[in-house]
Amino acid sequence: METPVNLLDFDVDGLVAWFAERGEKPFRARQVMRWMHRFGETEFDNMTDVAKSLRAKLAQEACIRPPQAIRDSVSEDGTRKWLLDVGNANAVEAVFIPETNRGTLCISSQAGCALDCAFCSTGKQGFNRNLSAAEIIGQLWLANKLLGGTATPAGAKDADGDADNGRVISNVVMMGMGEPLANFDNVVTALRLMLDDHAYGLSRRRVTVSTSGIVPAMDRLREECPVALAVSLHAPDDALRDRLVPINQKYPLRELMAACRRYLERAPRDFVTFEYVMLDGVNDSDAHARALVALVRDVPCKFNLIPFNPFPNSGFDRSQPERIRRFAGILIDAGIVTTTRKTRGDDVNAACGQLAGQVQDRTRRTVRLVKSMEDRA
């Protein structure tokens, strides 16, 4: 017997095509999509407005299978983190951050990460594989279910004029484990589901993709599914960024800034958010701040300064609060909107840069690191 097709792997166009191959009309695909995503249904028999004959056919050929939570941790500040089983001894993490006026879900795109940024816990685990579209959108599906989210009629709007599904989760950020643009096709399928009124109906302004700077994929995203963009910057010059964010060796800052300017031609927001982790004595001096001002002078942007969240054997320390305030002040005085991210969920290792999950490393990064240390000795 063939393995059932997981319908969470399809955006609306993909699902319509799959139904058409079986002689079904497009409206049937949209009916099933609404049941799956807006109402969190996994049993075809419960889809009461779908023809019984189609329900029987779907039960034989398909399934709706989100990732399963194997650990559910809640921080003292209300941040909630799930460890999600994605098979073959791999697990990824998703984090929900509740705030007064919004609820933000941070989701993962890969089991591990191949980019090996120096200050990131995820990157130190190595890389196993890309997540499927079902495993990516399934994080939103599952979080919405576990948080008790509900759906309201299509077309409802929130206070900002954006589509409002009545869900606890109002914003999604692709800032979890992995580099989203290194898993482009599956990420875009998931993004389209987040935006589709038959699924989650989120505004493009409320969905953010964070990238370390894969320039060709940034250009593709601009053309195929422009959402809000965040760039993990972390350094004002190529020499330092080469060390902290190794992908910079392939796509240096001049190319990255040009890609940001191109992206803004189609972006739903009129600025790029630059993420900048504050590392004591590494990238946090007044000179670094002034260099940043010069670097982004032609890129409409805001800065999100992130106090470094320690993890074992990281080799870095968090910048002191006064140093962060002074650094932010230089950016603000130059007319750049600058915020300092409040650390959330660090007591359950859910803060930015701490997500580690469980990865069966195919890059053999630990072996390579030991060999490198032996060679230097």
Q: Which residues carry out catalysis?
A: 93, 352
**Residue 169 Cα distances to 12, 105, 146, 201, 355, angstroms:** 21, 6, 11, 11, 20
Q: In terms of Cα–Cα distance, which of 162, 269, 180 is closest to 226?
A: 269
Residue 235: alpha-carbon gap to chain centroid: 21
**Residue 225 Cα distances to 204, 205, 263, 316, 336, angstroms:** 9, 12, 11, 36, 27
Answer whether 305's CB lies under 8 Å from 318's CB. no
What is the C-alpha to C-alpha distance for residues 48 and 34, in angstroms, rounded to an integer? 12
Contacts of 136 (CB under 8 A, 6+ apart): 107, 108, 109, 183, 186, 187, 189, 190
Handedness of CA 122, 123, 125, 129 (dihedral sign): positive
What phi, psi does 96 have (nearest 5°)?
Answer: -110, 130
Q: Show the CA angle centred on residue 190, arms to residues 349 and 14, nearest 5°.
A: 155
What is the C-alpha to C-alpha distance for residues 274 and 186, in angstroms, rounded to an integer? 24
What is the C-alpha to C-alpha distance for residues 245 and 289, in angstroms, rounded to an integer? 18
